[in-house]
Structure 1
């Protein structure tokens, strides 16, 4: 199946788009688009990839993305297993658990959705700064996240009209006047997929980014399905159609990190979700996340999160 490179939204008469998503799982394809995107997870768990950022997501996760920032909300494997059962349902029984559902609210708007110079006005300085920060990706925590969640749910039920525009501007204004946010991507991160891919001589400029995205999509899918195993670099490189050294250079150029770092972040992201669940020991979580020694798990966990696993649990419980 062809993996999308750039997602273009369907044209609408309204100045911006608000959608309620109710799906078996979120879109599993690594993509970007020229619109700003504000996304709230209402229901569902998984791992989100934004630029070079990898983090677990769950209900209440609120993220704001600028134009052309690659992203992917990958639902946990259980959501795909449930959707397969919906496609080929087994014999129903009264004790069968209801299917898992991924729900979210997303807002899309272009930079000039209210006119070419609207955000250039003096009164829009705070909003303009917010839009600039969104190019690195933003997430919010604390009470502002709860306020934004309520605003988005209200907006999703509003008809197209002036009131809905005011609701969006009020929400953006609230988000621009708080310090309870985190930048997601590394300083200086850029979407290298938009540029020509020089690793593929003989292909045209328009083909190169598409092939790059297909390769990265294959790698993402493979790692997310096998991160609990002993991943072989040769196997992944062969999947991408490269030698291991060429693949390592290619991956770092496109992901802004080494492949081993990417795998570690996926594993630690999974461990964070298991820690938040609180039903397993740290030793079991270490093994279930693909680490073969507890010492290596503890070291990499602290390198990536800045905390030990036990400190992470305490911090999470106090949020």
Structure 2
């Protein structure tokens, strides 16, 4: 899997940049960049990859991503009704934007927390999506100070929303207390260290925390926003996706290394959560190193792995 570095159009003098495209054909490779990005897709369905998450999206999609979180959207263009347009609005801004003294004040606390959480990738939905869509539309035409104020209002809306889900599997949603924080981190660490054991069950973690199975299940769902079973399957499927892309292991080897107890069950669950067979997933995500740059609006916008000649990539990109 090859990840390209995007050279964004953001200049030092910019607060942010807005990219607005209609029927863009999604003609770009899997990539990342140093800037934070808010990406909105409207009017088309397809598949989205953000970090170790690959999901289908329907018609409207809004995702906020932190620095160097690789991503790519694909649209089902062949299924798009004739004459129906779709639109992609992208906002990019630097991670140093909120280091200024004014923006360290208490009024910006929720926004600063949002910028920490988006490192995992956050998908917004419901009324939050509707509000953000209108504001992002305004930002495609607003100029000067009005656009800056609208941009901060947009971030404020997102920072106060509960209508979101995390996409990348690193970390958990912020718990409600220090005690809960320690316990949920302990549970999460245990799962990450033992998910490849197909015998792992909820009673293992309940016993670790001196809780009944039902009490632990309730506690885990509250903080992880998934049941233990759903979370465990998700971790195993994500790990299988990583092996499919980064290794040459067989499907059977990947099945057992990911914690599934038989290939039939692995194929069934993979199809359920990724909407394709494991082998099809591997083939469909093989990036073509001879990517056709001729369709790019901005020349040299994406840099192949290894960086531009004479320049080194940031540590986060080392090794592709």
Deviation at 1:27, TM superposition (A): 3.9
In the alignment, is the contact (CA less than 8 A) between 1:15 and 1:114 conserved in 2?
no
Closer, same or farther in 2 for the Cα pair 1:266/1:105, shift >3 Å?
Answer: farther
Closer, same or farther in 2 for the Cα pair 1:264/1:170, shift >3 Å?
Answer: same
Closer, same or farther in 2 for the Cα pair 1:99/1:142, shift >3 Å?
Answer: closer
Q: How does 1:113-128 map to 2 (within 5 A)?
A: 113=97, 116-128=100-112
- Structure 2's unaligned 5+ residue stretches are 173-239, 259-264, 279-320
- Structure 1's unaligned 5+ residue stretches are 83-96, 190-232, 253-259, 271-288, 292-319
Residue 186 of structure 1 corresponds to 169
Q: Deviations over 1:71-128 (max 9, x none)?
A: 111222627xx9xxxxxxxxxxxxxx74665421110001223654454332211101
In the alignment, is the contact (CA less than 8 A) between 1:24 and 1:100 conserved in 2?
no
Residue 35 of structure 1 corresponds to 35
Residue 169, structure 1, aligned to residue 168, structure 2: no
Rounded to whole Å, the distance in 2 between the matches of 1:240 and 1:180 is: 33
Rounded to whole Å, the distance in 1 between the matches of 2:86 and 2:268 is: 25
Residue 135, structure 1, aligned to residue 119, structure 2: yes
Deviation at 1:133, TM superposition (A): 0.8
Q: 22-31 or 141-150, which moves further after superposition? A: 22-31
Q: Provide the secondary structure at the position in 2 that maps to 1:186.
A: coil
Q: How does 1:215-234 map to 2 (within 5 A)?
A: none
Q: How does 1:141-160 map to 2 (within 5 A)?
A: 141-159=125-143
Rounded to whole Å, the distance in 2 between the matches of 1:63 and 1:142 is: 13
Q: TM-score, normalized by length of structure 1? A: 0.53
Closer, same or farther in 2 for the Cα pair 1:241/1:126, shift >3 Å?
Answer: closer
Give the CA RMSD over aligned residues: 3.8
Rounded to whole Å, the distance in 2 between the matches of 1:140 and 1:107 is: 15
Q: How does 1:152-301 map to 2 (within 5 A)?
A: 152-159=136-143, 161-188=144-171, 242=248, 244=250, 248=254, 265=270, 268-270=273-275
Deviation at 1:188, TM superposition (A): 3.2
In the alignment, is the contact (CA less than 8 A) between 1:119 and 1:127 conserved in 2?
no
Rounded to whole Å, the distance in 1 between the matches of 2:64 and 2:110 is: 15
Q: Deviations over 1:46-72 (max 9, x none)?
A: 111111222212332111111111111
Q: How does 1:66-85 map to 2 (within 5 A)?
A: 66-76=66-76, 78=78
Q: Provide the secondary structure at the position in 2 that maps to 1:168.
A: helix
Q: Provide the secondary structure at the position in 1 that maps to 2:152.
A: helix
Residue 109 of structure 1 corresponds to 93
Rounded to whole Å, the distance in 2 between the matches of 1:64 and 1:147 is: 15
Closer, same or farther in 2 for the Cα pair 1:43/1:187, shift >3 Å?
Answer: same
Deviation at 1:5, TM superposition (A): 2.0
Q: TM-score, normalized by length of structure 2? A: 0.53
